[in-house]
Amino acid sequence: MNNRITEAELGECYKALDRIRALTEGLGLRYYIETYGCQMNEHDSELLAGMLIQAGYAKAETKADADLILFNTCCVREHAEKRTFGNVGFIKELKQQNPRLLLGVCGCMMQQKEVAKRLYARFPFVDLVFGTHELKNFPSMLEELLMERDRIFRVSESDGEVIEGLPIERTPGFSTFVNIMYGCNNFCTYCIVPYVRGRERSRKPEDIISEVRSVVQSGYCEVTLLGQNVNSYNYGGVTFPQLLRLVHDAVPELPRIRFMTSHPKDLSDELIAAMAELGRVCKHIHLPVQSGSDRILKAMNRRYTSSDYLKLVEKLRSSVRNVEITTDIIVGFPGETEEDFEATCELVRRVGYSNAYTFAYSPREGTIAAAMEDQIPEAVKKERLNKLNAILLETIPRNNEKYIGFTGDILVEGVDHRGEPLLFGKLSNFKMVYVQGDEGLIGKTVRVKVDGFRFNSLFGHIVKEEEE
């Protein structure tokens, strides 16, 4: 079974946080966390914030007001290292102005030991560097820093653990994320995640359910069950579709359940059936295709073909009413020919995505694809990306035509003030709808009718009772 943090280790975390609180009482210390990258990093930052609040820190509004700054870094985006090093460099001046300011750098980029060492060596004013597997040691490292002020570098190469029971400070709102698993076993050849987040570890269903219950009690109305590949969730034989049913049935007061991300190779008929049957499971799936060429999919180690993918799309559309599909696509993967790229364009036209996140391939140090021959020139990647985006500019609005006259429920998330103020919120299938309405409706579910669309957003009005 999974490597889990022990009760004794958790007890030590809380004891260290109590000692920090006693040590710093009356000093009015404040923290500032800057987070880069995906929801996994957001989640880690929420845990770091939770621990700091437990230790007596308050949140600072700006870096200049903080006594502790943490950069939670990401190594997935392009030029991430250059940007992170630049941002860290800027803190030198703040450290000169405030000698008690501590600076820590953590997250995926710091789990790449060579990069972490480079950063630690280049910026002697960085007090703390730690990798993604060190969260449980954060209280003791902070305590050590406060007592001794010696620099700390801690990056371990374990496969990671499942950490339960740490305090968490969630970003306020109506929608939140609950991790169901950590890590990834897939080793897509372009991706650094398995190297920095370790092997797949699934959480116990009971722990997930109790966290979902507690976020609903705190007022959240939408929970996204999160994992790098939720479809391979497995705890003691409980699969992801089973978990979805368990959460759905155990927390009936939760209006909306989403999940992310689904690897096509593991998308089962059971999951499609669960999406179709469970009323409060949202009818949206993010299903990254990455390429429409079988040759490139193989080189990416995706382990499905374009025809497997299209069959899944067909099954989803025929089983789940009003389902919408979004995706990720990489163009310019090493060795991608014009023919391969055309296959991607063709697949995009056939699927008719609700939305797509498109990227020009950029190598990640340490991955298999980074060392492949036939890297595609930047100009070609850019041209292909533009071409693909132009296709999406046509196909996404076409997919919206069916919504004219459609009636459905949105969860109102806020007001868009860019022009005439409009409330915005998503349908269950993730389509964003803008309507006129009162700000008091934020956080409520309202029935809307769609009158028009613009690119990937819909526009409509709130349905009055007599219109029903």
Which stretches of the chain bind ligand SF4, using CB under 6 A? Answer: 184, 186-188, 191, 193-194, 228-229, 263
Q: How far is the CB of 161 from ligand SF4 (least distance, A)?
A: 18
> Which of 229/355 has CB closer to ligand SF4?
229
What does each C-alpha distance from 152 to 31, 76, 103, 124, 315 come to in angstroms? 18, 25, 11, 11, 52
Burial of 42 (C-beta count, 10 Å sphere; 0-12/13-18/19+): middle
Q: How far is the CB of 189 from ligand SF4 (least distance, A)?
A: 9
CA 242 to the chain's CA centroid: 22
Structure tokens at 201: 């570890």
> Which of 146/193 has CB closer to ligand SF4?
193
Q: How far is the CB of 60 from ligand SF4 (least distance, A)?
A: 32
> Which of 166/191 has CB closer to ligand SF4?
191
Question: Angle at the Cα of 403 (from 397 to 406), degrees rounded to 5?
Answer: 165
What are the helix and strand counts (H, E) for the chain? 15, 21
CB 256 within 8 A of CB 444: no
Structure tokens at 85: 């090093």
Q: How far is the CB of 239 from ligand SF4 (least distance, A)?
A: 17
Q: Is residue 41 within a helix (H) or strand (E), and if so which, with residue range?
A: helix 39-54
Q: How far apart are CA 229 and CA 222, in angstroms?
A: 20
> Which of 191/267 has CB closer to ligand SF4?
191
Q: How many residues does the chain have?
A: 468
Cα dihedral sign, 245-251-257-259: negative
Q: How far is the CB of 266 from ligand SF4 (least distance, A)?
A: 9
> Which of 57/240 has CB closer to ligand SF4?
240
Burial of 388 (C-beta count, 10 Å sphere; 0-12/13-18/19+): buried
> Which of 291/457 has CB closer to ligand SF4?
291
> Which of 201/263 has CB closer to ligand SF4?
263
Q: How far apart are CA 49 and CA 62, in angstroms?
A: 15
- Give me the amino acid identity at 81: E
Matching residue, tokens 């305090």: 167
Cis peptide before 344 (omega within 30 of 0): no
> Which of 87/234 has CB closer to ligand SF4?
234
Q: How far is the CB of 341 from ligand SF4 (least distance, A)?
A: 20
Q: How far is the CB of 261 from ligand SF4 (least distance, A)?
A: 7
Q: How far is the CB of 290 from ligand SF4 (least distance, A)?
A: 8
